[in-house]
Amino acid sequence: MGKALKHDCIGCPHCCREHQHEHSWQNILRLICGVVLFAVGILLGEVWQVALPVRLVFLLASYLVLGGDVLWHACRNIVKGRVFDENFLMSLSTLGAFALGEFYEAVAVMLLYQVGESFQARAVQRSRQAITNLMDIRPDTVTVLKDHVPQVVPPQAVAVGDVIMVKAGEKIPLDGVVLTGQSLLDTKALTGESLPRAVQVGDEVFSGCVNQSGVLTLRVTKLYGESTVAQIIELVEHAVQRKAPTENFITKFARYYTPVVVLLAVLVAVIPPLFCHGVWAEWLHRALVFLVVSCPCALVISVPLAFFVGIASSAKQGVLIKGSNYLEALQQLKTVVFDKTGTLTQGNCQVTAVLPATGYSEQQVLSYAVQAERYSQHPLAKCILASCEPTVATTELTDYQEIFGQGVRAVGEQTILVGNAELMQSQGVDYQACQQAGTKVYVAVDGVYVGCLLINDRLRADSQQAITALKQMGVQKIVMLTGDDRQVGQAVAQRLGIDEVHAELLPHAKVAQLERLLSTVQGGKVAYVGDGINDAPVLARADVGIAMGGLGSDATLEFADVVLMTDEPIRLVRAIQVAKKTKRIIWQNIIFALAVKVIFMMCGLLGVGNLWLAVFGDVGVTLLTVVNTLRLLRTKKQQ
């Protein structure tokens, strides 16, 4: 067994379903033909007492119909140098049974093997449903408006800047900005959210969402190959290629295990008759039973299938995991490191206080800050502009410079500095350090300190719940790294129950702190949770880099190992729960499969049982492990 996963095609849902449907009917037809021929052979021999040569014609025909592909794969693999696999074991044991005159048993082995294959294929198909659903979010056509005339074209033919129309009930085909209309979007396939999201003119929308109500016209912002849905599909397609250590171990185990059991079977068939005066036919029969039972199908199938189902189950909940190695690492986490702004807090900060220096007014401080920050894309700059821009006038600048990790320097009629305490110190400004809790943005003009803006952020609704749940799940240390003010960082850490906080860190300092944590953790993994491109160096350095708010973010999908598609820290808890359940099921399958096989192999050596029992032992164990693995799909999607 084991061919079901090898024939997977997750790149195109339509061709994949057609291929599966065709392959399923071929299997059913083959089983029916094989069973009919086998039944005729039995009737000829047991009821009508027909001569052996006539019976053999029907039995051989049944054997070839049911086991022809097994024999073919065995021969082809031998030519390629891959001798020891399940096809070789099944072929050797059944051909040996024919040589011993056990014709019915030989055909029955192939019949039960094919029945097991059919049941297993259906089970595997169920496990892939979440991925298939994800593939279905890719649209087949797009309605483009050319001179206000709708034209239906493939999504690959649409250019950036084109205007497209999306009717109610249709999928959003490409990323874009709403030009006209308002609607509710179903984002379940991308984020796992059950509640629809309202959009109106000016809002950004992402491919893969379903338009539930009104007609929308969108201006396309990304080509099809760069769209959110295309990136997610590519991510999922490559996820199964990154194997976990457990998966690699099982592959290596099977590589050595199969030759060993073949050698043992040869010794069982040869040594007793040569040295113990045993009957050759009896010991050859026991060796064949031993061979059939020893097939490592249950292990080779159930372990990679469990990781595959775990990744699919996480995808259903809006968590994209880029490989089974990261899924396994999630259940080994001992330390989780969080960024603050945009991760544990909402990131939509606001100016809560203006503290002018002596001789200056609040309006002057705001005016200087807005003049300097209006060209910056930094979140704090956007916060200042959003809070203050309508109330102040600006002048033209002749020079502008962003000083990495410190702030900005703007030159116009005056030289304005806006940034943190490090900027003030590096520029030789004699400033007054603010002692209030919050992010401090100091303002200086022509080297003279004029005041401070105090900015605060709000915690995310589920941050406290996520931190508590992580500790309950066995995470030993929760750490927060932030570039924000030390007082702000400590206040947030105290409210959330975070064990360790390091504030006022530049990006390279965050990496240094993470490396320190990596060097101190024994027997576990360290994860870093951030919210995008600003955290890329730390995401890359952690054992598991986890990015939040990945919907529509190219950088997040590129740099992170795990992507939480919404801005909810609690989704990390969901992903870890799936990872732990996956690991439990894998070990259940391994222990169960090995225990049953050892028992059945001993029975075969002792002469208790026959080939019928042997194939039940092999096929039955495999099916039970597959069914056990499918319990992962019953993981409840929590809101």
* Chain Cα centroid distance, residue 443: 45
Catalytic residue among 339, 457, 485, 543: 339
Do 267 and 246 meet the contact criterion of CB atoms below 8 Å apart?
A: no
Nearest CA to 138 out of 174, 186, 169, 177 is that of 174
CA distance linking residue 437 with residue 491, whole number of Å = 8
175 given a catalytic annotation = no
CA distance linking residue 292 with residue 268, whole number of Å = 14
DSSP structure class, residue 371:
H
* Residue 340 backbone phi and psi in degrees, to 5: -100, -70
Nearest CA to 337 out of 504, 521, 191 is that of 521
DSSP structure class, residue 222:
S
CA distance linking residue 204 with residue 206, whole number of Å = 7
Q: How many CB atoms lie within 10 A of CB 609?
A: 17
**Bridge partners of residue 287, in order along the sequence:** none
- How is 547-599 classified by DSSP, letter by letter? EE--TT-HHHHHH-SEEESSS-THHHHHHHHHHHHHHHHHHHHHHHHHHHHHH
Q: Which residues contact 354 (CB under 8 A, 6 or more apart)?
A: 362, 365, 366, 451, 452, 453, 454
- How is 467-481 classified by DSSP, letter by letter? HHHHHHTT--EEEEE
Q: Where are the alpha helices (DSSP H) in 128-187?
A: 129-135
CA distance linking residue 162 with residue 154, whole number of Å = 13
- In the numeric block, the tokens 């999607």 are attached to 637
Hey, which residues are catalytic here? 339
